């Protein structure tokens, strides 16, 4: 039983502010510690449930947030960026189940620190529907034959996951009170909950079903400014359908994640260029 765990930070218990999730913020080091220990809880739960191998993917920001010396030594770690499959790097057909820990609501939703892959995207849609990191990564996993068994985070993403993913187990470790406000479980009971739910998900792995993979995919990205839209629309096959919106018909989930990664990288550089021009003016 091989289990893949993708771990984000915004959905971790005790995390709710930008100061915590951005490197250099006063709360960042504490958030890294909280993320690491909640990851360990998921790893323990996976092994409790019968996993024989566990791979953990550090999936937040620069993707090097977890405190390696404090990680459960039984797990192998994928970390660092950029990487082609973003939050799902290292997920292969060899895995039997995927667990998403510390996940959050999509851009435009009312959840804690809600966004989709990057704050540089004001909106992300797949086939006209608002997309979350959960839905996109679950789609990628399904193309590898891997179901998603667990989603943890705030109440908003847990509700969305239950509506999207057949048979998924969820663990709401906090309740959204706004974009950067929450009512959260304390770390110890949150970890107990994540461990128990991870164990349950792995024990039920043979009953988990894949999310449906559409026959065709169309990705739309709402960018932060017109320069970003101009730069992303230069990617071959991508068209600009609005002042700040680009679209592309996508051949596969692999290509979808690739364009997402290229898109937020180009948007980042567009914002840097704009800031340079503003300071120069």
Q: Give pLDDT tens digits for 143-178.
A: 999 999 999 999 999 999 999 998 999 999 999 999
Verify that 137 and 249 share a domain, yes or no: no
Q: Give pLDDT tens digits for 38-94.
A: 999 999 999 999 999 999 999 999 999 999 999 999 999 999 998 889 999 999 999
Verify that 42 and 162 share a domain, yes or no: yes
CA distances from 170 to 32, 101, 121, 199 (A): 22, 10, 26, 12
Residue 9 pLDDT greater than 80, yes or no: yes
Q: Specify whether the CB–CB gap between 56 and 64 falls below 8 A.
A: no
Domain boundary among 162, 185, 207: 207
Verify that 107 and 241 share a domain, yes or no: no
Residue 101 pLDDT greater than 80, yes or no: yes
Verify that 18 and 49 share a domain, yes or no: yes
Verify that 41 and 145 share a domain, yes or no: yes
Q: Give pLDDT tens digits for 174-191.
A: 999 999 999 999 999 999
Residues belonging to the chain: 281
The CATH number of the domain where 76 resides is what? 3.40.50.10780
Determine the pLDDT at residue 273: 79
User: Which band of pLDDT confidence, cut at 50, 70 and 90, is reported for residue 274?
Assistant: low
**H/E run at residue 101:** strand 97-103
Is 263 a member of any domain? Answer: yes
Verify that 28 and 109 share a domain, yes or no: yes
The span from the CA of 271 to the CA of 142, in Å, is 34
Verify that 140 and 251 share a domain, yes or no: no
Verify that 15 and 107 share a domain, yes or no: yes
For strands 97-103 and 2-7, give the pairing. parallel
Is 148 a member of any domain? Answer: yes
Active site residues: 115
Give the pair of three-digit tokens for residue 4.
């893949």
Find, among 111, 118, 117, the residue nearest to 173 by Cα.
111
Domain boundary among 207, 225, 258: 207
The CATH number of the domain where 270 resides is what? 3.30.1360
Q: What percent of the chain has pLDDT over 90?
A: 93
Residue position matching structure tokens 């974009």 = 179
Q: pTM for this structure? A: 0.95
The span from the CA of 190 to the CA of 70, in Å, is 18
Verify that 12 and 35 share a domain, yes or no: yes
- What secondary structure does DSSP assign to 187-221, as a single string? HHHHHHHHHHHHHHHHHTGGG--PPPPPSSEEEEE
Q: Which domain holds residue 255?
A: 217-280
Q: Specify whether the CB–CB gap between 28 and 79 falls below 8 A.
A: no
Verify that 92 and 26 share a domain, yes or no: yes
Q: Give the CA-trace dihedral at 64, 67, 68, 72, to 10 degrees.
A: -120
Domain count of the chain? 2
Find, among 131, 110, 116, the residue nearest to 86 by Cα.
116
């Amino acid at each position: 039983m091989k289990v893949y765990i993708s771990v984000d930070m915004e959905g971790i218990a005790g995390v709710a502010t930008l100061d915590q999730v951005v490197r250099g913020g006063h709360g960042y080091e504490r958030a890294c510690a909280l993320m690491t220990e909640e990851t360990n809880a998921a790893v323990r739960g996976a092994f409790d449930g019968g996993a024989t191998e566990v791979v953990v993917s550090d999936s937040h920001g620069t993707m090097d947030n977890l405190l390696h010396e404090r990680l459960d030594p039984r797990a192998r770690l994928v970390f660092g960026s950029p990487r082609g499959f973003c939050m799902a790097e290292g997920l292969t057909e060899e895995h039997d189940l995927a667990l998403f820990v510390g996940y959050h609501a999509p851009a435009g939703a009312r959840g804690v620190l809600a966004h989709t892959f990057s704050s540089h995207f004001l909106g992300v849609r797949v086939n006209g529907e608002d997309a979350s990191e959960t839905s996109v990564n679950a789609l990628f996993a399904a193309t590898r034959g891997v179901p998603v068994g667990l989603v943890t985070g705030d109440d908003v993403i847990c509700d969305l996951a239950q509506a999207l993913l057949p048979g998924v187990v969820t663990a709401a470790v906090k309740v959204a009170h706004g974009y950067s406000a929450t009512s959260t479980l304390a770390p110890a009971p949150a970890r107990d909950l994540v461990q128990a739910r991870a164990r349950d998900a792995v024990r039920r792995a043979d009953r988990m079903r894949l999310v449906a993979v559409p026959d065709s995919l169309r990705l739309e990205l709402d960018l932060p400014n017109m320069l970003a839209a101009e730069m992303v629309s230069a990617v071959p096959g991508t068209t600009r359908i609005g002042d700040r919106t680009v679209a592309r018909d996508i051949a596969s989930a692999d290509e979808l994640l690739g364009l997402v990664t290229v898109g937020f990288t180009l948007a980042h550089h567009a914002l840097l260029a704009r800031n340079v021009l503003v300071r120069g003016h």
